[in-house]
Amino acid sequence: MDGKRFHLIIIFVIFAPFFLGCGPKESVFSGRTMGTTYTVKVVSGFFKQDAVLQEKIDARLEEINRSMSTYLADSEISRFNHRVSVGEKFRISSDFMQVMQTAQRIFILTDGAWDGTLKPLIDLWGFGTAGTRSKPPTAEEIRQGLQGVGFSSVQITDDCCLAKTNASVRLDLASIAKGYAVDQIAALLRNSGADNFLVEIGGEVYADGHRRDRNPWRVGINTPRPEAAVNQVYWAVSLSGRAMATSGDYRNFIELGGKRYTHVIDPRNGYPVDNGVVSATVLADNCTLADGLATALMVMGPGKGLDLINRIDSVECLIVVMQTDGTFTDHYSKGFREEK
């Protein structure tokens, strides 16, 4: 999968020393997955098998990646994309099915502002598996690419199968797959007996319980400027039993013909968004939903975006718009400040 830029910063705290043998233990697990890095922090007074848990985390992430990575030729998603027979059923795993069900929900909620069939346009603009390009695509190339876009052209059946109604449709679920992986690692930790933990994959986060000092987990949103350090915090939020995901235009972009183009593409016209939104953060009960909605808000903008989020239970957001003078304007949902 493509390496999404880091937007969230775990705010680390220097802890006072504990007496030998006293106080909870904090274990940190890290590695690479889905073209990016992950960090898992577990606070526990009893968990002793760190090596075993590290193996379980890596195995679960590998399983999800092999299902939904467009960069692996034999992944489930790649094999589905290469199928061209309209109406042919393609059986998928439980992981793929759960992501597709959430993808369908986000597509409907956002009225198509988020679409999981953008792969032809992602490749066309040089952000996908086809590699980079030296100049922007032509209007005709974009028109042709749009013919293969439309999540409603993928049927999801009750027997865990997918089928195409448009042979040129190709899926790219990178904008929610990392969020799903975060949720699955959180489930793995709970099943291992952990109550206090934080999971971060490529900047997408889920936290539960508390830190080692018994204070809430604190997660920071990166300042949305290309020159900002990855640990430069723009806004901080307390998380417990919640997920947080951010999408932005300031880390993953290309410059063609002297103009900068973000990796976030509007499914409705085939062009990278250019509406002033530089960052969109979503808080939700699960990271899969938060991940997809954050991308959708980049496309929708603050007006329609806030209207949507304010209608969804247990979901909050912060949308940051850069003005022409380089300053930021914050647009946040009704309950966002309460999460701070």
What token pair was written down for 85? 């027979």
> How many structural domains comprise the chain?
1
CA distance 298 to 60: 30
Give the domain CATH number at 106.
1.10.3980.10
Mean pLDDT on 186-200:
96
Residue 284 lies in a domain: no
Q: Under a CB-based contact definition with an 8 Å cutoff, are residues 320 and 329 in contact?
A: yes
Q: Considering the domain boundaries, does residue 255 fall inside one?
A: no
Q: What is the CA radius of gyration of the chain?
A: 20
Angstrom CA distances, 210 to 44, 46, 66, 197, stand at: 10, 16, 32, 7
**Structure tokens of 131?**
């590699």
Q: Residue 201's CB: how many other CB atoms inside 10 A?
A: 27
Is residue 15 pLDDT above 60, yes or no? no
**Res. 121: pLDDT tops 90:** yes
User: Stretch 268-296: mean pLDDT, rounded?
Assistant: 96
Q: What is the pTM for the complete model shown?
A: 0.90
Q: Are 173 and 68 in contact (CB under 8 A)?
A: yes
The residue ranking higher by pLDDT, 305 or 50, is 305
Q: 10 Å Cβ neighbour count for 149?
A: 23
Is the pLDDT at 4 greater than 60, yes or no? no
Q: Is residue 273 part of a domain?
A: no
Classify residue 131: in a domain, yes or no. Answer: yes
Q: Is the pLDDT of residue 274 over 80?
A: yes
Question: Does 166 map to a domain?
Answer: yes
Contact between 281 and 315 (Cβ < 8 Å): no
The whole-chain average pLDDT of the chain stands at 90
> What confidence score (pLDDT) does residue 46 get?
54
What's the pLDDT score for residue 23? 62
More confident residue, 253 or 86: 86
pLDDT at 130: 83
Q: Give the span between the Cα atoms of 102 and 61, in whole angstroms.
A: 19
Q: Which strands make up the sheet holding 90-91, listed edge to edge?
A: 90-91, 161-164, 154-157
Q: Write down the pLDDT at residue 170.
A: 96
Q: Crossing angle of helices 94-109/174-191, nearest 10°? A: 130
- pLDDT value, residue 125: 93
Q: What is the pLDDT of residue 257?
A: 83
Q: Which residues contact 336 (CB under 8 A, 6 or more apart)?
A: 283, 316, 317, 318
Name the pLDDT band for 27 (thresholds 50, 70, 90): very high
Q: Is the pLDDT of residue 22 over 70?
A: no
Indicate the helix (H) or strand (E) that contains 136.
none
Does 96 reside within a domain?
Answer: yes
Q: What integer pLDDT is reported at residue 20 of this predicted model?
A: 40
How far apart (Å, rounded) are the C-alpha atoms in residues 257 and 272?
15
Q: Does the structure show a pLDDT above 90 at 95?
A: yes
Decide if 262 contacts 272 (C-beta within 8 A).
yes
In a domain, 82, yes or no: yes
pLDDT top residue among 14 and 328: 328
- Can you state the angle between helices 174-191 and 287-309, rounded to 10 degrees? 120
pLDDT at position 48 is 61
Amino acid at 35: G
| Local confidence band at 80 (pLDDT 50, 70, 90 cut-offs) | very high
Q: How far is CA 337 from the centre of its chain?
A: 22
Supply the pLDDT for residue 83: 85
Q: Where are the alpha helices (DSSP H) in the chain?
A: 50-68, 76-82, 94-109, 119-124, 139-146, 174-191, 287-309
The least confident of 74-83, 176-185, 243-252 is 243-252
pLDDT tier for residue 16 given thresholds of 50, 70 and 90: very low
Range of the domain at 83: 72-174
129, part of any domain:
yes
pLDDT of residue 258: 82
pLDDT of residue 97: 97
Bridge partners, residue 37, by sequence: 32
Give the mean pLDDT of 147-170.
95
Say how far apart CA 130 and CA 109 lie, in whole Å: 30
